[in-house]
Amino acid sequence: MDGTSSSLPSEVDVVPQTPQLIALYTVIRDRETSRADFVFHADRIIRLLLEHALNYVPLVPRRVTTPVGAVYDGLAYGEKICGVSVVRAGEAFEHGLRQIARSVRIGKILMQRDERTAEPRMYWAKLPNDIASRWVLLMDPMVATGRSVSMAVAALLRAGVPQTRVLVVSMFACREGVEALLRAYPHVRLVTGAVDAGLTPDKYITPGVGDFGDLYFGTMRRGEEEGCGGREDSLVTDEGSRMEGSIREPGAAPR
């Protein structure tokens, strides 16, 4: 099911598998690719995915006058949007989103995998005050088991965002994660560039890309595992734990 939309629910939108897109994915999947090339090609994919996701935001008619004095009947965005990145790996999408919408507001959700239970735990969510009135692009490069992104969607719903206004944007997904997400939240939409075959015993998407966060940000692993971007969960960072205005989940340990 690599990169295809065969027999997937209608809420899953796999972007068209053009030769250009397949070539970009080939570069970032290659274990021999340098970090500089990985980031360059990942950024290109990210922008393509975000542009595609914005097709779901409603537009309204707009009439303008061109420089030659002619009237042109076009379209304009009629709704506000914001991005929400799942820290750390989802932050890779922020630059691409700002290139598309320069003044866009961006929130963050911080999670970490419990290595004993393999379950994600949410530490805090920092979201725009008016997020309930916006369309939300929830940015997380991997939808593996689906538990992490489902927890992030739950945080958005608690903030008043309707499911129908949540657009999950990911670079990689697998059927297990897709089914888990839509079983919990059947009205969200997932926009992705690749739906891969499945998961490894360690819950990495396969063939996948490995640990996206480590590859993109150029970090090393501490001990056996650090960073869960290659699966779906994200690493707690010192920068994120100090973000002003953050709201911790009840019972979450301070960082």
What amino acid positions are annotated as catalytic residues? 113, 117, 211, 214
Which residues make Cβ contacts (< 8 Å) with residue 8, sequence separation at least 6? 1, 14, 175, 178, 195
109 by Cβ neighbours in 10 Å (0-12 / 13-18 / 19+) ranks as buried
Residue 3 near residue 29, CB atoms below 8 Å = no
Peptide bond into 113 cis (omega under 30): no
List C-alpha distances in Å: 95 to 26, 34, 37, 91.
22, 20, 17, 8
